[in-house]
Chain A
Amino acid sequence: MALLQIAEPGQSAAPHEHKLAAGIDLGTTNSLIASVRSGEPSTLPDENDEHILPSVVRYLEDGVEVGAAARDAAQSDPLNTIVSVKRLIGRDVSELKTLGSQLPYDFLDLDKSVPRIRTVAGNVTAIEVSAEILKVLGKRAEETLGGELDGVVITVPAYFDDAQRQATKDAAKLAGLNVFRLLNEPTAAAVSYGLDQSADGIHAVYDLGGGTFDISILKLNKGVFEVLSTGGDSALGGDDFDRVVAEWIMAQANISDDADHGTLRRLMDLGRSLKEQLTESDSAEISITTKDRVWTGTITRQEFNDLIDPLVKKTLQACRRAVRDAGISKEEIKDVVMVGGSTRVPRVRELVGELFNTEPLINIDPDKVVAIGAAIQANVLAGNQSEDDMLLLDVNPLSLGVETMGGLVEKIIPRNTTIPVARAQEFTTFKDGQSAMAVHVLQGERELVDDCRSLARFELHGIPPMVAGAARIRVTFSIDADGLLNVSAEEMTSGVKAQINVRPSHGLADDEVTEMLKSSIEHAQQDVQLRQLREEQVEAQRVIEALKAAMSADADKLLNEAEQQLLLGELQKLIDISQSSDIKQIKGAIKALEKASEFYVERRMNNSIQQAMAGHNVDEFK
């Protein structure tokens, strides 16, 4: 008795469906969205044929403006126009202060962990601002591709820390996008190049964007991109070149640094324009009007180079460290791929070329290369390229550890460890009868707690009374494929457990995200429920399809008759329930099917591992 049609092995149970997927480069200055269409990746333009969306959001009393129009208003309406929001995402109030006094916004020093900016449309967080940019891009893709997106890959600087990654994912959630994966920008760039030239070997990707700098060393081997090391500075970019030029003009023209927001913004824009002019010519004329006078002058390329050299040298330090961390010598690096608009600056190319002793590669438009790579990865993750062998193996950019006695940090996962990863360390109590232990999670390379970034704190309670040093508390850190951290603690002799999804102290709490979803204008209460139902139905469909496909491939080989019948029965139950509108029931049925099929999923995994290795053993004895 067949409960449902199972296709013959080799045939897919469902007709092959092309899933809609896109890659998003959410940049400091500009953002792009790209997709693979008929096998070709390309960036998607808006209705005016513009591919680049300036990452600028302007809040109006009755709505939101994103892109070029918002950017053009930045000088006239600086307080309501948020530029370079990527510099703010995942950062707390104290960090913003050290980031620079040049940020022309009204920050609210509220009790909440996430800073808010006051605008005419109310107070907004960097996450909400980023979500506005993502919404526009998502909509553009859905209109161009003609349907709802199944999922997206969003790129982040490799050097983004846990809080910044989590915040980016929250922004996507707020924008209603399903995130397949967060992908590191240099890795995305390497994908664009790697597939183009199928160049096996070791490559460096030097990525200097508007607000962030990344360096990654990757090994390419037959479609596998293995990141060996990564480094950088998540608060250094081309904006800083603009800033040093602006400061130089202020010094030359005697403009005081408490000038009004509009003047400061104009100086930054002027700095940018001069930087761009000096890419082509050896000198540029300056003219700036302040309230009481006009100042004119000239800046030469040599003067400009002297201004930015300290910044470029900082990037070179990070390059040398990344090479060292990769365990290779500079000579082993085949070429250096340049990514990000700021690599157009001649001095940057010159110094990077000198360091690596090679002419940097600039074949692909440095503005588009990241989005293109993300689109290729999104297409693979959506399952549109079934026989594709491409695989990305990335690393965590910063060391993670816990606080130990004396304000020291004990590293549990060192930087540049391939993810996903799980590592554990045992600690003990220091007082007789100690019943609780605080776990303080930190990120950074320094030895003192005060020099590292605090990610989260939690407590393990209910440790049974023991003499000091007798308890064995195992703290486990695991990082998933998105680079997000999860920490758990367990007292081994009693089994008392505590666990935390590291929602960093700098991030939003889970309920805050839900609250934002609810309060955003487009999502009235009813919509939220509808959306949850749809999400649950999609997940049910995913589970059904996956099991069907698996069973049609190898049920006869891996399952006996009784096991097959059992799974088919559970599968049918979920198929029936998935059409209902009862969120709880669907959830329950998914759980039930997953529980019933767990042994099968594991059996398949073990089987494919054996097969992968069996191939080698045969080869060896040839």
Chain B
Amino acid sequence: MLDFSQNYFELFGLPADFRVDLDEVSLRYRDLQKVVHPDKFASAGEQQQRIAMQSATLVNEAYAVLKDPLKRAQYLLSLKGRDADGENLTTTDGAFLMQQMELREALGETREADDPLEVIDKLLGTIKTAINEQIAKLTILLETSSPEDLDEAMESVYKMQFLNKLYSEAEALEAELEDMI
């Protein structure tokens, strides 16, 4: 097998940090694909094509993780020995849960609004702001490896999952509303 023991940050030659320069990640991604992509081996034998495909698959997966804040946080947590992917996540933050309920309610009532598209636009903005707050938190929390900070980071990841789901539901509704026009 290829040297798959490297983690995604190592593969991209980057420090294992939550803070990444997205332009730099894209640049490295393209340069990696330029050397591993199966198209570079189209006239070679089947074996080379297979290995190229495995490598390109790995690079694609690494890129998908590195460019997405939620996946990147989960991945960093897993490198620090925490499983932030399963059902072992939770929050006791009452204010957050309350906010979620309000947002959901607002989303549910959007259709009846006078100008539903404007309402949904505002909602998307609010959710985006809440997501960005969690990203800012994670940037600080994931700098350290103290158990308390990691616990809090796990909670942040949980909140982000919540918010991302809400965001895509709002987007789906926006699409539906736009299509009706």
Contact = CB atoms under 8 A, between A and B. Distances in A.
A150 B26 CA distance: 34
Contacts of B27: 616
Interface residues of A, number: 51
A422 interface: yes
A245 B45 CA distance: 51
B60 interface: yes
B36 A609 contact: yes
Contact of A608 (B3, B35, B53, B61): B35
A458 interface: no
B33 A382 contact: no
A383 B56 CA distance: 19
A543 B45 contact: yes
Contact of B38 (A478, A480, A542, A608): A480
Contact of A418 (B39, B47, B55, B64): B64
Nearest to B63: A418
B45 A180 contact: no
Nearest to A598: B47
Interface in A211-240: 221-222, 224, 226
B175 A320 contact: yes
A616 B64 contact: no
Interface string A454-488: 00000000000000000000000010110000000
Contact of B36 (A383, A480, A546, A605): A605
A617 B48 CA distance: 28
B43 A151 contact: yes
B44 A542 contact: yes
A389 B34 contact: yes
B17 interface: no
B57 interface: yes
Contact of B31 (A381, A418, A606, A616): A616
B52 interface: yes
A417 B38 CA distance: 17
Given A224-B30, A226-B30, A542-B44, A419 B52 contact: no
Contacts of B35: 605, 608-609, 611-612
B119 interface: no
A146 interface: no
A480 B38 CA distance: 9
B95 interface: no
Given A150-B43, A221-B30, A324 B171 contact: yes
A382 B43 contact: yes
Contact of B53 (A150, A389, A481, A602): A481
Interface in A603-622: 605-606, 608-609, 611-617
Contacts of B31: 612-613, 615-616
A609 B39 CA distance: 16
A590 interface: yes
Residue from B11, B27, B30, B36 having most chain A Cβ neighbours under 10 A: B30
B57 to A, nearest CB: 5
A222 to B, nearest CB: 8
Nearest to B38: A481
Nearest to A614: B13
Given A324-B171, A594-B45, A616-B28, A417 B33 contact: no
A608 B36 contact: yes
Interface string B136-170: 00000000000000000000000000000000000
Given A420-B56, A420-B57, A598-B47, A380 B39 contact: yes
B16 interface: no
B37 A391 contact: yes
B12 interface: yes
B45 to A, nearest CB: 4
A284 interface: no
B50 to A, nearest CB: 9
B98 interface: no
A605 B51 contact: yes
Contact of A324 (B37, B40, B64, B175): B175
Given A321-B175, A381-B42, A478-B57, A609 B52 contact: no
B88 to A, nearest CB: 16
A92 interface: no
Interface in B48-91: 48, 51-53, 55-57, 60-61, 63-64
B61 A609 contact: no
A393 B37 contact: yes
Residue from A393, A543, A614, A615 having most chain B Cβ neighbours under 10 A: A393
A381 B42 CA distance: 5
Contacts of A598: 47, 51
Nearest to A382: B43
A591 B55 CA distance: 21
B45 A418 contact: no
Contacts of A221: 26, 30
A181 interface: yes
B178 interface: yes
B179 interface: yes
A590 B55 CA distance: 22
B89 to A, nearest CB: 18
A335 interface: no
B13 A616 contact: yes
A598 B32 CA distance: 21
Given A221-B30, A417-B64, A615-B31, A542 B56 contact: no
B43 A19 contact: yes
Given A420-B38, A481-B53, A605-B52, A594 B47 contact: yes
A420 B13 CA distance: 22
A143 to B, nearest CB: 23
Contacts of B171: 324
A317 interface: yes
A543 B52 CA distance: 15
Contacts of B51: 598, 601-602, 605
Interface of B: 1-3, 11-13, 24, 26-28, 30-40, 42-48, 51-53, 55-57, 60-61, 63-64, 171, 174-175, 178-179
Given A320-B178, A391-B37, A616-B13, 10 more contacts: A221-B30, A317-B175, A381-B43, A391-B30, A391-B34, A480-B53, A546-B44, A546-B48, A605-B35, A613-B11
9 contacts: A151-B43, A226-B30, A382-B43, A481-B53, A546-B45, A601-B47, A605-B51, A605-B55, A609-B32
